[in-house]
Structure 1
Amino acid sequence: MEQKKEESKKKAEFLKKQIAERIQGFTKRRNDNKYKARNFHVLITVLGAFSTIVLGFDFINLKSLSFFEDQAKNLALIISALITVVSAYNTFFDHKGLWVNYTSIRNSLYNLDFEIDYYLEGNEDIREGKIEEFKERYNEILDLANHKWTKLRG
């Protein structure tokens, strides 16, 4: 009986270690995608504003900048093409969707980790069946993460 309790405790510790490693991985990917989502949004916005300024600027009245007048349309065209490329990249990789997905999965893992801690705290009768339930929830969370990732990439 005592050996079963020790085995269950070791399984719980192993599961908690796996959860901690996954939380760390999802947190890193979450932060990377949050950074990319924000930066691409800012880049597209700034390029759009710059293109509008270039097209709307009155170069004729500024003698010192009048040499830009002929090139303004070309510059605006290049900026607009760049906006299209950056937007297509951003849409294809969907960093915002990945950021939200990784945040959700990480939070589910934090919740599971808390439930395991709560169960283990002061509990002398650690049932192997309960640890197996926690392991099943862990696997369900990872399956959901894979399903969401596949859906975003599909």
Structure 2
Amino acid sequence: MAKEIQFEVDIELLKASIARQVDRTDRNRFRDKSRTTIVTVMTAIGGAMTSTLIGLSKFVPAYENVLQAIALVTGGLMAVVVAWDRLFDHRKLWIISSKGNRRFLELSEDILHAEETDTLTSDLAKAFYLEYKDALQSMNEDWDRLRTTSRN
């Protein structure tokens, strides 16, 4: 039989911790969404430019070598952008931050509701704290899984 750990929750400290996590996950979410957008747009532009330059090189023989060289550079830069995103996987980081942000916002709303309706008990505060810890743990596990999973 597991021994139950007794503790008291400082609800003001918990609310401050949740607010910090909301701010942190919101910043991370915005950053990773922006980087995902940049990678997507840069890849599309790079692909379109490379194809266009190769096509133009056939119709403008005087500049064929120059256009093909520019197409090579464009293709190389596109490979760097794709490799950078492959390394960090900004889309998945964006999803992890978004899920965490929603959980922290919901928890904050639940605490506010309990306070406003005068139903905040010690047991409910403990439940809120455990939910907070679970949200943190879930985000950490998602991040660890992302960083340790082979992406071949």
- Normalised to the residue count of structure 1, the TM-score between the two structures is 0.84
Q: Does 1:138 align with 2:132?
A: yes
5+ unaligned residues in a row in structure 2: which ranges?
Answer: 1-7
Which residue identity is paired with 1:152? L
User: Of the two structures, which has the highest relative contact order with CA contacts closer than 8 Å and spacing of 6 or more?
Assistant: 1
Which residue identity is paired with 1:45? A
Across the aligned residues of Structure 1 and Structure 2, the Cα RMSD in angstroms comes to 1.5
5+ unaligned residues in a row in structure 1: which ranges?
Answer: 1-7, 61-65
User: 1:69-124, CA deviations, whole angstroms, 9 ceiling, x for partnerless residues?
Assistant: 2222222222222222211111111111111110110001111111111111131x
Task: Identify which of 127, 148, 152 aligns with 2:146.
Answer: 152
Kindly report structure 1 stretches of 4+ aligned residues shifted beyond 4 Å. none
Q: Does 1:59 align with 2:60?
A: yes
Q: Does 1:40 align with 2:34?
A: no
Larger Rg: 1
Secondary structure at the counterpart of residue 114 of structure 1 = helix
2:79 maps to 84
Which residue identity is paired with 1:50? M
1:17 maps to 16
Distance 2:77 2:50 in 1: 10
- Normalised to the residue count of structure 2, the TM-score between the two structures is 0.85
